[in-house]
Structure 1
Amino acid sequence: MTLLAWMASFRSACLPRWALLVAVGVSSTLSAQAVITPPDIDASAYVLMDYNTGEILAQKNANTPLPPASLTKMMTSYLIEQRLNDNTLRENDAVLMSERAWCRGSSSQSCMYVPVNETASVIDMLRGIIIQSGNDASKAMAEHLAGDEASFADLMNEEANKLGMTQSHFVNATGMPETGHVASARDLAILARAIIKNSGDYYPLYAEPSFTYNGITQGNRNALLLTDSSVDGLKTGHTSAAGYCLAASSKREQMRLISVILGSKSAQSRADDSRALLNWGFGHFVTEIKASKGQAVTEIPVRYGTAEQVAIVTNDTLQVLTTKAAAERITTVLEVPEHIEAPIALGQPIGRLVAVMDGQAVAAVPVVASAAVTKTGWFSTLWQRLGYWLKAKLQSNDA
C-alpha cells in the first residue's frame, strides 16, 4: 500500500458520517392545528398575513382580482423607493408637474396640488403619494421614471411578476378606475410585505400623520395610525367601483401582521374591520423565538487544528409561527457531527438547530463556526490520523 493510499484509509475511518440538511429560519405549525374562526368581515375580500412567514391566517376571496383603488399607489411608491435605494433616483431630484399629470382641483380625486409646469423634489412627491394619496404626484413620478404613465404601468407589472403577484394587473399609477386594472387582497399583502422588508429608511413615511405642500396640509387617511400605536402603515383607497380599501401593518413584540381589506362599505368599517382582524390575529397567534441570531449553541471538537474546539453559533433567528395554545410544546434539537476537521473558516456551516413540535421539525437555522481554525503541520496531522485510525480499529475489534 502506498503512503497516499494509507493516509486515505485513515481519513475514511475518521470522517463523521452525517449530512448537512438544508434549513429555513422561520416556519409555521398552523397546518397541523385546529382552525380558529376569524371575525366576520363584511367586505368583498380580505387577507390577514403573518409578515415573517407569509402565512395567511385568515382570508375571504383572497385571490379574486378586484379594483384596488389607491392601494395601487403602494406599487408606485415601492418602485420609487427601490430606485432611491439603488441611487437611480436622488431625494432632491426635481420632478416636473406636466399638464397631463396636473390636478385641477377636482373633488373626484385626491391631489398633492403641485402647480402645473412647476417642480417638486422626489422626496416631496413620495410623501405626496403615500400621505396625501396624490394622483398628480403619482402621474408626475410615472412620467419622470418611464416617460409616460402607460410605460410606467409596464414597470409596475414587471415588478408584480417578480414579487409573485399572480392575480394583479396595473394599467395606471393611481388606481383610478380603468378596464383591466385589478389586484387581489393576497397580492397586495405580498406587496405590503415587500415594502416593509425592502424600503429601508422610507418605510416610516407610511406612518407620518400629515404632510404640508404648497401651503396645504393634508392628514394621513389611515385612521388606525391615530388609534393604535402598533400600526405603522400602509395605505388607504376608495373609488365607487372599489369601495373602501385599507392595507395596514401592525407590530407587537416579535410579531408583525399585515391586513388588507377590499370593498368595505365605509371608511369607518374598513378601519373597524382592520382593527378586528389585527386584534384577532395577535390574540390567537404568536411568533415563538427559540434562538436569536448569533446565539452561542455549543463547542465542537476539532481534529488536525491549531485549536482543539470551536464554538458554534446560530446563523439566523430561529422562530416559529404557532397558536398561543401550542407554543409551549415547541422544543429544540441540535444536529451537529461529533467532531469536525480543520481547516475551518469563520462562518462555515457546521449543522443546524431545529425547532420540533410533537415529534415533527417545524423550523431550522444553520449553526456556523464562530472563529476560523487553521490546520496543523503535515507531521502532526499524520500522527493524529494514525492515532484516530488505531482507536477506530480497537473499537471495531471490541465490537
Structure 2
Amino acid sequence: MDETRSFERTRRELLAAGVAVGTGATAGCVSETEGGDENGTAAADSHTATLAPAGEVEFDAVPEDALVTFPQYTDMMVALGHGEAANSLFSPEMAGPTMNAFYDRLEGVSFEWEELPNPLEQGLVKEQVYELDSDVHFLDPSYVLTTEDGWSEADLEEIADAVGPWFGNFHSGVHSEPADAYADGYEYYSLWELFERVAAVFREGERYDALAAVHDDLQSTIESNLPPEDERPTAARVTLGDGEFYAYHLNADGFWQADTRPLGARDALADREWSGDWGVIDYEAMAEADPDVVLHLWGITPQYDIASVRERLEDHPVGATLAAVENDRVVAGGMRYQGPLMNLFQLEMTAKQLYPERFGEWPGHSSGESYPEIPAEERLFDRERVAEIVAGSS
C-alpha cells in the first residue's frame, strides 16, 4: 500500500471514490457539460449496494481500498477476486494464516496479510481511519457505537462523507441487539446473504451466483445424508480457557453458527442461557452436559493446538471424565468469523467430525498446518470448481 496516498488525495477525490448513503445521489460525478466522456464512464461505473444498517449505498466505482476488520469480509473479497483491496485486518496473525490454511487447498488462491495493520488493536482510532483512506469500510457502524469508546453518530457520518461509507453488519452473528441509533430497521442476514450484498459492492454478482451454487450443492449433500435426529451425537461448541469454557449454542441463529447449525447435531448446552454473545461455564457444567463431541472453537487457527487442548482436558480430574475426551472426539473447530470459502471448508470439516460414518473420517489437524488433504472421493465440494470461480476463469 502506498502510505503517502492518503495525504495526497483531496476532499473532492475522496468523495469521488465512494459514497452517498441512502440518498440515491451520486457523489463525485461530473456534469455532461463539464466532463464529456468522463461523465459517461462515471455513469457506467456507478452502482448501488444495500445492507442494514447503512441502507442503500451508492458507489462511483468498484472500491480499490477497503478497511476490513473481521475476516469474513476479507474472505468474501478473496472469493470475489478482490482480496488485494483489503488494507487492514483484525488479528492478522490469527486470521491471515487461518485463511491461507484453507486456501492452500484451492490452486492459485492466497491472501497477503503480513503487512496489514489491525484497525482494532488500540480500538478504532479516527486518525487511522483517515490514514487508511478507504473507499469503503466493512464494519458495522452499530458495532462501533456499542464497542468503541469516543465514537458518536456524528463521527461516523463525518467518515462516511469525507472518506467512504460504512458497509457492515455485525449483529447478525448471533442476532444480538444493535445500538439504539440503529435499532429501527436493523436487519439480520445469513452469511450467504451478507456475501451477496458484498458482491454487489464489487459488482461481482456472477461470481457470487457460482459460489452460491457450490454452497447449495454442499448443503444438499449434507441434508440428504444426515441420520435421524435421535441418532445424532450431542455436541458442545466451546473454547477452553483458564479453568472454564467459553460456550456457544451450535444451532442458534446467526452466521457465527453457519458451519454448525446445518449439521443439526444435538446441542449439549441447549438448556444453558447467557445474556451476551457467548456464555462461560465451568468443568462441572461441562461434565453435566457431557457431550459426545467437543467442537473446540478456533481450534483450526494458530492460536490453539488441539493436541494441547486434549492434554489439558485429560490432565484435569473432571475433564478426563468427559465422554468426548475418553472417546478421542475433542476436535479442532472452525472460526466464527467465516466468509464463504471458509464456510465451505468448515462445513465439510464439521460434517466429518460429527458424522464420520456418513461423510468420511476427519483426518485431524495440527496447529500451523494447512487444512488436511482429503481423498478426492471423500471431498464434499469441488475444490477445482471453487478455484476456477475465484480466478474468474469459469
Common fold: TM-score over 0.5: no
Q: TM-score range by the shorter chain?
A: under 0.3
Q: Which has the larger radius of gyration?
A: 1
TM-score under structure 1 normalisation?
0.24
TM-score under structure 2 normalisation?
0.24
Question: Which structure shows the bigger proportion of residues in helix conformation?
Answer: 2
Question: Which structure shows the bigger proportion of residues in strand conformation?
Answer: 1
